[in-house]
Amino acid sequence: MRKTGRKLAAFTLAAAMVLSMAACGKKAEAPVDTTAATTAEETTVAETEAPASENQKADIVVIGAGGAGMTAAIQAVQDGATNVVVLEKMPITGGNTTRSTGGLNAAATKYQEADGIEDSVDLFVEDTMKGGKDINDKELVTVMAENSAEAVDWVNEIGGDLSVVGMFGGASVKRIHRPSDTSAVGPMLVKTLNAKMAELNIPVLLETTAQKILVDADGKVSGVTAVDKDGKEMTIDCTAVVLATGGFGANMDMVVEYKSDLAGFGTTNHAGATGDGITMAVEDGAALVDMEQIQTHPTVNPDTQTMYTEGVRGNGAILVNKEGLRFVNELETRDVVSAAILKQTDKQCYMIFDQAVRDSLSAIESYVKAGIVTEADTPEALGEAIGVDGDALAETLKTYAGYQASGTDADFGRESMEVPLDQPKYYAALCAPAVHHTMGGVKINTSTEVLKEDGTAIPGLFAAGEVTGGVHGANRLGGNAVTDIVVFGRIAGTAAEKYVMDNGGNTEPEITVAADDAAVTPEVEGGYKDGVYEGTGTGNNGDIKVEVTVEGGNITAVVLKEHGETEGIYEAAEKGVTAEIIKKQTAEVDAVSGATNTSKGIMDAVADALSTAK
């Protein structure tokens, strides 16, 4: 039976603090110093022989707390990782993922089945390859499609909602999965991932920018250097790194370096999308693919850079030029629609929709609130309001209503025409293309290992999400970014944890901290008698013994004294359960998924201890 005396890891405490503050929208303080505490013996050695190492330690360092990074971290812990830390250079988590409005493409899901939608992995692969002009890495696309239905289930399991299926550009069937309240997918996903990270006590060090991925003499990953917001440098020794830094769409120098005709374009990207991960990986010998493949999003407000989700067109909107005429099948892929807009007067167009479309999509309310939608009671009045010939616009809408009724768009072959666009009020939103997604990036294989030019992997380096290249080829379909980050984020988490197990195994976090120092604090009054109590519960492999400390009437610490549980499962259960017990002041909390019996054993042991503390 293994013995353990730790309470919570220092990284864990930093996480609890940093994430809860991020969730409140507050700026987090710098994380606590996680330098390992030294024993008396070590101190003596350090004093006489050499200064103590300042390096921090983790088994897995995830760089980037966007969708891919947080998914990878959660999956790694669900697989048994005990010592994972996430670095995020911005003051909040979420990256570009937060800006994602569409949904998650997935084939052969239970939601499609319930709606009678016939779809398959093969059709999903075919659409994605066609959208990407067949230069995508078909193996990666196939893995994405094969794992997409499970990705929807996983998001639902961790508390998300992707239960409504809709139509989106480039897909031959209804395949995009969205929240049932019609809200944007990104904020829902990031909120869900943040909550799961907090529940699993996975630390995120905010405003901490990774600078270099260290490799040892054998070329294996050995650590990460980073700098915090005060400019303090740190080195975290680790076995594996998951690179999840997103793309480079906010780094216009880099964009123009790879695609010069995008000079002067706006961007839909958040400020942190500067390609750091690509630079770091290249320094370690990583190969890059498709770097010149940079996607512009066709419908972005040129003044505010607000991106109008494709859902507006998917739910029925059309595009007209400044002459009031349609000029493209609005549901064509992003590159086709963007190119068509660039041929119109002023390289701009208007997205036109009616009340029925507005009522179908809550995202539209945010555009209205932002003051970037013009409204009128008639098509003629709308035209006048935006400086377009009102009669021409009215004629365009009348013709379109006819196409919608007959089911045939004789002008541009648009197949999905949800509504006739004849319900007042009428709305117009000015659009121009802007840099949106960088399809190229670090080359990976289907296990998310980062590859060198010679095709061999950099041992211990994994990557997922927009930092990678190959999945989307020359053009990413709307809805495939979220699939990419969830599917490959999960694969990266699993692969990194397996790599750790194959290279020395999980470590115990090194620091023991008093509960007083912990960021985990009671959310309610406990009402117990002060004291230290011992209790026993039954886990998967026999007894689990705990020591519960009650101070000031509240449970302030739960220390696991003995157990025989499987390594990894036990740690995951402990991390998830003990923090919740302290927060909720009861032994009855939710079990950690994947570690249910061990969680219950810990809870029973705490309940046993508390039975004498009433």
Q: Active-site positions?
A: 334
The answer to whether residues 566 and 601 touch, using CB atoms and an 8 Å cutoff, is no
Q: Which of 97, 105, 267, 438 touches ligand ADP by CB under 6 A?
A: 97
Least distance (Å) between residue 203 CB and ligand ADP: 13
Quick one: which segment of 85-93, 159-167, 257-265, 516-524 binds ligand ADP (CB under 6 A)?
85-93
525 half-sphere exposure, CB direction, 13 A CA radius: 5
The answer to whether residues 253 and 472 touch, using CB atoms and an 8 Å cutoff, is no
Least distance (Å) between residue 163 CB and ligand ADP: 22
Q: What tokens does 567 get? A: 């390594």
Distances (CA, A) of 519 to 82, 229, 516, 564, 579: 19, 20, 8, 28, 10
Least distance (Å) between residue 154 CB and ligand ADP: 15
Beta bridge partner(s), residue 434: 297
Least distance (Å) between residue 249 CB and ligand ADP: 9
Q: Between helices 67-78 and 480-502, what is the axis angle to 10°?
A: 40
Least distance (Å) between residue 362 CB and ligand ADP: 22
For residue 461, the Cα-to-chain-centroid distance in whole angstroms is: 19
CA gap 234, 425 in Å, rounded: 57
| Residue 226 or 591 with smaller CB distance to ligand ADP | 226
Q: Which of 101, 209, 295, 396 touches ligand ADP by CB under 6 A?
A: 209
Those residues whose C-beta lies under 8 Å from the C-beta of residue 39, and which sit 6 or more positions away, are none
Using CB under 6 A as the binding rule, whether residue 332 contacts ligand ADP is answered as: no
| Residue 25 or 371 with smaller CB distance to ligand ADP | 25
In a 3-state reduction of DSSP, which class is residue 5? coil
Q: Which of 31, 67, 131, 526 touches ligand ADP by CB under 6 A?
A: 67
Positions of E strands within 425-509 = 426-438, 441-443, 449-451, 457-463, 468-469
Using CB under 6 A as the binding rule, whether residue 62 contacts ligand ADP is answered as: no
Give which of 489, 600, 401 is closest to 77, Cα–Cα: 489
At position 226, the amino acid (one-letter code) is A
Q: What are phi and psi of 195, to 5 degrees?
A: -65, -40
| Residue 437 or 575 with smaller CB distance to ligand ADP | 437
The answer to whether residues 100 and 108 touch, using CB atoms and an 8 Å cutoff, is no
Using CB under 6 A as the binding rule, whether residue 272 contacts ligand ADP is answered as: yes
Quick one: which segment of 93-101, 125-133, 496-504, 587-595 binds ligand ADP (CB under 6 A)?
93-101
| Residue 95 or 132 with smaller CB distance to ligand ADP | 95
Using CB under 6 A as the binding rule, whether residue 132 contacts ligand ADP is answered as: no
Do the bridges between strand 531-539 and strand 542-551 make them parallel or antiparallel, or are there none, so unpaired?
antiparallel
In a 3-state reduction of DSSP, which class is residue 539? strand
Least distance (Å) between residue 270 CB and ligand ADP: 6
Using CB under 6 A as the binding rule, whether residue 203 contacts ligand ADP is answered as: no
Q: Which of 119, 276, 547, 608 touches ligand ADP by CB under 6 A?
A: 276
Using CB under 6 A as the binding rule, whether residue 74 contacts ligand ADP is answered as: no
| Residue 409 or 449 with smaller CB distance to ligand ADP | 449
x/- binding map, residues 227-256, to ligand ADP, per CB under 6 A?
Answer: -----------------xxx----------
In a 3-state reduction of DSSP, which class is residue 537? strand
Using CB under 6 A as the binding rule, whether residue 340 contacts ligand ADP is answered as: no
Using CB under 6 A as the binding rule, whether residue 68 contacts ligand ADP is answered as: yes
Judged by CB under 6 A, how many residues of this single chain contact ligand ADP? Answer: 27
Q: Which of 485, 511, 548, 603 touches ligand ADP by CB under 6 A?
A: 485
Quick one: which segment of 212-220, 268-276, 448-456, 554-562 binds ligand ADP (CB under 6 A)?
268-276
Q: What is the 3-state secondary structure (H, E, C) of 314-340?
A: HCCCEEECCCCCCCCCCCCCHHHHHHH
| Residue 59 or 276 with smaller CB distance to ligand ADP | 276
Quick one: which segment of 58-66, 118-126, 300-308, 357-365 binds ligand ADP (CB under 6 A)?
58-66
| Residue 208 or 506 with smaller CB distance to ligand ADP | 208
* 548, 551, 556, 557: CA torsion to nearest 10: -30
Other Cβ atoms closer than 10 A to 50: 8
Q: Between helices 569-584 and 596-610, what is the axis angle to 10°?
A: 40
Within 412-471, the residues that bind ligand ADP by CB under 6 A are: 465-467
Those residues whose C-beta lies under 8 Å from the C-beta of residue 163, and which sit 6 or more positions away, are 111, 156, 177, 179, 180
At position 270, the amino acid (one-letter code) is H
Residue with smallest beta-carbon separation from ligand ADP: 66
Q: Which of 31, 95, 131, 324 touches ligand ADP by CB under 6 A?
A: 95
| Residue 67 or 601 with smaller CB distance to ligand ADP | 67
Those residues whose C-beta lies under 8 Å from the C-beta of residue 423, and which sit 6 or more positions away, are 354, 355, 356
Q: Which of 63, 349, 435, 496 touches ligand ADP by CB under 6 A?
A: 63
Q: Which of 87, 573, 587, 606 touches ligand ADP by CB under 6 A?
A: 87
Q: Which of 34, 56, 96, 128 touches ligand ADP by CB under 6 A?
A: 96
Least distance (Å) between residue 488 CB and ligand ADP: 9
- Measured CA angle at 251 (ends 245, 254), to 5 deg: 100
Least distance (Å) between residue 272 CB and ligand ADP: 3
Sites of contact with ligand ADP (CB under 6 A) = 63-69, 87-90, 95-97, 209-210, 244-246, 272-273, 276-277, 465-467, 485
